[in-house]
Structure 1
Amino acid sequence: MEPRNETAVVEFVLEGFQVAQHLGKVLFPVHLLVYLASVVGNTLIIVITWTDPHLQTPMYFFLRSFSFCEGCFVSTVIPKLLSIFLFRDRAIHFTSCITQAFFFLFLGSTIFFHMAVMSLDRYLAICKPLHYPTIMNPRVCFLLVFFSYVLSFTLITGVILKLSCLSFCGSHVIPHFFCDLGSLLHLSCSDTKSLERMAFGVALVVLFTSIITSVFAYINILFSVMHLPSAKDRQKAFSTCSSHLIVLSLMYGSCVFIYVKPKQTSRLESNRVAALVNTVVTPLLNPVIYTLRNKQVHRALRNALSRVNLQK
């Protein structure tokens, strides 16, 4: 084989969105407000469900962990995007890029496993109400959350370790606003077929394990609810699941579009729009959905505000 001149890439350039070159200072405050609202909203859910004695149930324990993951997830991408908008600082070091890719995929996978756990929790609460307190005891709840993190860490670490061993010797411009796996594979001058197959397999495990679990849970919930004698009981059962179903549809739609395809380098342009929904819009909507549609959280917020006013 004829030897090639190869210069190892030590820094990437995030192309982001073309419009950011002209409207960066306009987009900055918009995305900053969205980011702050997302972080504050998820933090508020954590604090309220942690401090209110009426919310010390498995459902809110899982919601607390889910909100923590969401707050961390949005923080892996948006701060760098804000830097691009305000300072046009599009450069990112190789190590920082790989680290960002790891935490983005790790936290994203953990969120999906959390969604599966939350679906099972609703299934047991509605379909097995007599056995629910025994099955979903504090130890089981902790183990479910713990294994969500461990399984996600194990799956994503293998992908990222293999990614970090690739050679990047050509273009160093990433056609995305963060270090996306598909974009990095597109830039590599190594043979990426095995890593693409591995990433596709991991995506299938993460997404479809969560989807199948959620579908199983909600089909059983639907049958159980339809057999409830009282219309009030049916409405109450549906109301406890509606917020979760809305969040599920938002997350699954964008992530299946982005990751479940054998060739990760395809459709890079359309992936950016779906990724923006997944990383910016969804983490903002989740706390809104869970608070606006939840009477117990409303009550806890009112109680917290009353305590604050009394202290003043």
Structure 2
Amino acid sequence: MTADVLPALTAQARGAAHPAGAACAHDDAVLADRRDGTVVRHGDTVAKAHDPGTDHRELSRRLAVAAHPALSGVLLPPLRPAPVDLHGRPVTFWPYGTPVDPETPEAAPWEAAAALLARLHRAPVPDGLPAMRGPVKAARAIARLGAAGPHPAAAPVLRAWAGLPPWARAEAPMPDGPRALCHGDLHLGQLVRHPETTGRWLLIDVDDLGHGVPAWDLARPAAWYACGLLPPEAWHRFLSAYRQADGPAVPADGDPWPALDVPARALTVQTAALAIAKSAAAQRPLDEVELAVVDACDRMAALPPELTRAHAK
């Protein structure tokens, strides 16, 4: 983020927390400062400056979904109904919620995440809502890999990417079939507890929210499980909770992988591409986890062409 935007965003967070300009003893905190957005907290108020390329109208539609009573208890509602402009970037305002503790993976709320997804996927899709942006994020990860320059681990990732159907690469519309309301970027960092909901978990971050293939929202834990990064018991807890909540992304019983295969492969490629780009930027070797997802891409790229074609629908 440019130096002039961060102080301005912090001032926006303070102003949202204290509209009357009252003095406050709360400190400011930068919660995130990434390529796709910066998040600042002041007291119980959070201000997020979104990616400069964000469509304001589409973001407003996504905010309206988060604020809708039908999604109460599923999505954290915004404090304001529309974004404001800050140096050409849309800014949104949110109540602060306590995130998942990354230091206690054994307490990860897999069941809560699955139940929230099932409720989201069963909700009516509002008219005018754009498509969920999961495939777009995957394509951006590949572009970032290309911008990082030559890397010895890039070849299997690019081969696995080429083996995905065009819709999963954001090169074609999503396949025909029932649409669901999708989060678009589900991971444990997208859950918070908020005091006004008696401490229940809620989903946050509506940047990628939209209509689409609901299996995409299950793809990251599915990919981690397939790569050996998520213990089988955690995956089965997640999948069982989703099915028990009548989630429509996978069959109620039997093999879920025909529905999950393409999204899980796409998330594996996305994860590997970002891992390589970040390691190249930091001028460090890939770590054990990063190597695992690259190795998974290598295995995917070695699939027989007939299997690849069978999933390219």
User: Which structure dedicates a bigger proportion of its chain to strand?
Assistant: 2
TM-score category, normalised to shorter length: under 0.3
* The structure with more helix, counted as a fraction of residues: 1
State which structure, 1 or 2, has the greater radius of gyration over its C-alpha atoms: 1
Q: Which structure carries more relative contact order (alpha carbon 8 Å, separation 6+)?
A: 1
TM-score norm. by structure 1 comes to 0.28
Q: Give the TM-score normalised by the residue count of structure 2.
A: 0.28
